[in-house]
Amino acid sequence: MPITLADVEAELAREPVEAPGGYTDRDSLLYAVAVGMGRDPMDRKELEYVCETQGDRVLPSAATVLSRAKRVEGAGTGLGAKMNFALLLHGEQRLTLHQPIPRAAETLVSSRTTGVFDKGEGKGALVTSETDVKLASGEPLFTLGSTLFYRGDGGFGGQADGAPVPHPIPDRAPDTVCEMQGRDDQAMVYALCGDRNPLHRDPDFAKKAGFDMPILHGLCSYGIACHAVLKTMCDYDQARMKTFDVRFSSPVFPGETQVVEMWKDDVVVSFRVRIKERDVVSINNGRAVIV
């Protein structure tokens, strides 16, 4: 059943419910390996992210898998159940870090829908949301934001304007470039971080969705880009990264080389990701704040 303007208004008025969450060092260590850290067992800087005897650093983009809450009464969203998930695309991902992420923590998690934008009948709808994660003490840890594009849910009579504006990429050659070689089994490993969508592992399911083979998780590519920026612009010091925002623009296949092009202007690092084998931009309008 299509969504209505009343559904949208009710969703935007919904008060977020704070629920307990938490994760262990297994989760943060596995994430680092899943996005490509630790391939060189003698790389001391990466070992701080993948070996607990060498350090306790956590890749900032791990926030995307360390933000899950336990299910509680009233915490669900009424709008999501009515959207057409078969035509869903992940459009944008945003992250604001309030402090470095600890290797393991008990947390408090709350999520809310911040906007629903009607692009018109046959053009779909954009849904923006935010998830706030605090330590169990109540101290802010990080805030995640996302934009989801529901291609089959436009035309409900809502507002069209007000969605996040893409960050512009500078009109000059990149200041630096970092190549990140993928692994053929990367989606298999990343799925163990919690996203079991068969689109990323099952060839039959991927074919039904219109792909010749399974595609890599968008949030895995997000983590690979974060790894590249952290390595190139922060010398692996995760405490320097304060925000990390992207717009997804094209699917990536496991094993492909993601070439991260970066521009630095004061504390802002603009970036995009180009697939070396196909010369396709997979992530665009990237923006990170590095201090």
Which one is catalytic: 36, 91, 153, 200? 200
Whole-number Å distance between alpha carbons of 213 and 207: 7
User: What is the four-CA torsion angle of 110, 285, 186, 35, rounded to 10 degrees?
Assistant: -60
Nearest to 116 by CA among 86, 144, 82, 142: 82
Which one is catalytic: 218, 227, 275, 283? 218
User: What is the four-CA torsion angle of 151, 71, 108, 14, rounded to 10 degrees?
Assistant: 50
Cβ atoms of 152 and 124 within 8 Å: the answer is yes
Whole-number Å distance between alpha carbons of 68 and 66: 6
217 as an active site residue: the answer is: no
Sign of the torsion formed by the C-alpha atoms of 234, 236, 239 and 241: positive
Whole-number Å distance between alpha carbons of 259 and 113: 33
43 as an active site residue: the answer is: no
**How many C-beta neighbours within 10 Å does residue 125 have?**
24
Strands 241-248 and 268-275, bridge-based pairing: unpaired
Sign of the torsion formed by the C-alpha atoms of 99, 104, 106 and 109: positive
Which one is catalytic: 3, 124, 153, 215? 215
200 as an active site residue: the answer is: yes
Whole-number Å distance between alpha carbons of 202 and 184: 14
Whole-number Å distance between alpha carbons of 47 and 146: 30
How far is C-alpha 115 from the geometric centre of its chain's CA atoms? 18
195 as an active site residue: the answer is: yes
Active-site positions read 195, 200, 215, 218
